[in-house]
Amino acid sequence: MSVVLVDAGGTNIGSVRYALQRLGVDAALTADAAAIRAADKVILPGVGAAAPGMARLRELGLVDLLRSLTQPVLGVCLGMQLLCERSAEGDTECLGLIPAPVLRFVEAPGLRVPHMGWNRLETTRRHPLVDSLGSDDQAYFVHSYAVPVGDYTLATADYGGAFSAVIARGNFHGMQFHPERSAAVGARLLGNFLKL
């Protein structure tokens, strides 16, 4: 099985790659369109802001390619947000693969933005990506923007209200948290993606 990490400039690429190595997969880091198209699985990692993330994908000529992929694709953190229609962060048009907006958390007493730390995951519908989740499973989040709950939501977390922690539509999947920093739960969910 060939797995590629899209070299979109995310600072979490090394830790995602190491997490995959622990699962026995040596994922190539690439921005080469042919290599991405030929891979069995594609992972779009990302940390940072939506506008620079999309600018990097456009600069690399990868926007149309990513939209055309038919193999399983996983967006992680910012990578998940880039799969959506539009981000309120800089009013950025994203890839439009999942019919959802990306909205900023509203600051409130006791709710600091960014949302940072461990949070419980709650499955909202059955899907091979989340079927192994237990009722007490938690993942590690660091983000200021989130995807609202919708038909595409597989699991939620709560921070001043429920938001999408795991999403999917067709062959496109996303995890808002950092599976590479989420210990056994993150490894299990990455393993689930590799089995899709």
Confidence of residue 11 (pLDDT cuts 50, 70, 90): low
What's the pLDDT score for residue 14? 83
What's the pLDDT score for residue 184? 96
Instruction: Write out the two tokens for 59.
Output: 């600069």
Predicted confidence (pLDDT) at residue 9 exceeds the cutoff of 80: no
Which residue, among 150, 17, 5, 177, has the nearest Cα to 84 in the 3D structure?
Answer: 150
What's the pLDDT score for residue 117? 97
- Is position 178 annotated as part of the catalytic site? yes
Residue with tokens 């799969």: 83
Confidence of residue 46 (pLDDT cuts 50, 70, 90): confident
Contact criterion met (CB below 8 Å) for 131 and 172: no
Confidence of residue 13 (pLDDT cuts 50, 70, 90): confident
For 47-59, the three-class secondary structure string (H helix, E strand, C coil) is CCCHHHHHHHHHH
Domain count, the chain: 1
3-state secondary structure (DSSP) of residue 130? coil
Q: What is the mean pLDDT of the chain?
A: 95
* Helix H or strand E segment including 22: helix 13-22
Which residue, among 128, 134, 69, 132, has the nearest Cα to 95 in the 3D structure?
Answer: 69
Question: Residues 76-130: pLDDT tens digits?
Answer: 999 999 999 999 999 999 999 999 999 999 999 989 999 999 999 999 999 999 9
Q: How many residues does the chain have?
A: 196
Instruction: Sort 104 into a burial class: Cβ within 10 Å, 0-12 / 13-18 / 19+.
Output: middle
Predicted confidence (pLDDT) at residue 12 exceeds the cutoff of 80: no
Name the catalytic one among 77, 84, 89, 143. Answer: 77
Question: Residues 52-82: pLDDT tens digits?
Answer: 999 999 999 999 999 999 999 999 999 999 9
- Is position 89 annotated as part of the catalytic site? no
Instruction: Write out the two tokens for 35.
Output: 């290599």
Which residue, among 119, 163, 175, 143, has the nearest Cα to 48 in the 3D structure?
Answer: 143
Name the catalytic one among 89, 94, 115, 180. Answer: 180
What's the pLDDT score for residue 29? 93
3-state secondary structure (DSSP) of residue 182? coil
As separate numbers, helices (DSSP H) first and strands (DSSP E) second, the chain gives: 6, 14
Looking at residue 77, the DSSP 8-state letter turns out to be T
CATH code for the domain in which residue 187 is found: 3.40.50.880
What residues make up the domain containing 185?
A: 3-195
